[in-house]
Amino acid sequence: MTTLAPSPSRVRAITSRNISALRSGPEYWVTVLSGVFEPLMYMLAMGVGLGSLMTSGHWTVDGKEVSYLQYIAPAMLASAAMSGAVSETLIHFFFKLRYQHTFEGMLATPIRPVDIVAGELLWALIRSAAYIAVFLAVIATLGVTTPARALVVFPAGFLVSFAFGALGMVVATRLRGPQDFDAVVVGQLALFLFSGAFAPLSRYPEPLHTLAALLPLYHGVELVRGTAFGHLSLALAGHAAYLLALGVGCLTWTARRIELGDD
């Protein structure tokens, strides 16, 4: 049976192997950098460009009036955290699993499935942490949050990365081939558009409102947005608990599927 007790030394070895990929060429860096620039451009285009045309007073966080840039910037940070984690644990994990058979070789050693998923997830979190740090520097410079609050926002974004990184590995074990990536892209776009990033859920039609409240990115957006403005509450604890439970559950599921060879 798979246990949630990965070996720290084995996890470090797997993570070190992924870090060595940074020297593989510029193609990897293009993939890495694209994950932070896309949501950053969305934030600047929507928040600064379109936001300058928005009527004030329509955007609030916990009853406090904010600008449109301040409203969407934390959501774009959550989106960047999601994209960084999913890109690593879904796309790269999938090719290692299906085509390179990297994990088969690892399992011929004392490395266990739980070590593999923990090591792969740790590398995804390191990559996402860079995205979050860049975003925090930008939004702090723009006055969206303060440097002191950024210290709280960072672990909130990190928790978003953890949940989506683990979820990405589960999805990777279910994909039949690269052609299924199209469905994944559509799914990510739906999460991006319908998770309260650009407007409160109260403005959505009621059926869509209820559905959106179940989406993991909605909880990530609310968690990051609340911490960015220093509004700590029981509701934020609920969002954090949702993301933590999702991440642990997906991590366990993926390790079990690899152990059984059910991929």
Report the alpha-carbon distance of residue 59 to residue 50 in Å, rounded.
14
Structure tokens at 73: 């910037």
Per mean pLDDT, which range of 131-145, 159-173, 217-231 is the poorest?
Answer: 131-145
The string of pLDDT tens digits covering residues 156-188 is 999 999 999 999 999 988 888 888 888 888 888
| pLDDT > 80? residue 123 | yes
Rounded to an integer, the average pLDDT of 88-107 is 82
Supply the pLDDT for residue 133.
86
Distance CA 57, CA 171 (A): 40
In the chain, the percentage of residues whose pLDDT exceeds 90 is 16
The whole-number average pLDDT for the span 62-85 is 83
Q: Which of 3-12, 93-102, 155-164 has the lowest mean pLDDT?
A: 3-12
- Residue 46 half-sphere exposure, CB side, CA atoms within 13 Å? 18
Out of 24-33, 83-92, 98-107, 216-225, least confident range = 24-33
pLDDT of residue 2: 46
pLDDT digits (tens, 9 = 90+) for 21-53: 665 555 555 555 665 666 667 666 665 666 565
Average pLDDT for the chain: 80
Query: Residue 225 corresponds to which tokens in the numbers above?
Result: 């947005």
3-class SS letters over the chain: CCCCCCCHHHHHHHHHHHHHHHHCCHHHHHHHHHHHHHHHHHHHHHHHHHHHHCCCCCCEECCEECCHHHHHHHHHHHHHHHHHHHHHHHHHHHHHHHCCCHHHHHHCCCCCHHHHHHHHHHHHHHHHHHHHHHHHHHHHHCCCCCHHHHHHHHHHHHHHHHHHHHHHHHHHHHCCCHHHHHHHHHHHHHHHHCCCCCCCHHHCCHHHHHHHCCCHHHHHHHHHHHHHCCCCCHHHHHHHHHHHHHHHHHHHHHHHHHHHCCC
Confidence of residue 1 (pLDDT cuts 50, 70, 90): very low
Percent pLDDT > 70 in the chain is 81
Q: How many Cβ atoms sit within 10 Å of the Cβ of residue 7?
A: 16
In tens, the pLDDT along 202-211 reads 777 877 888 8
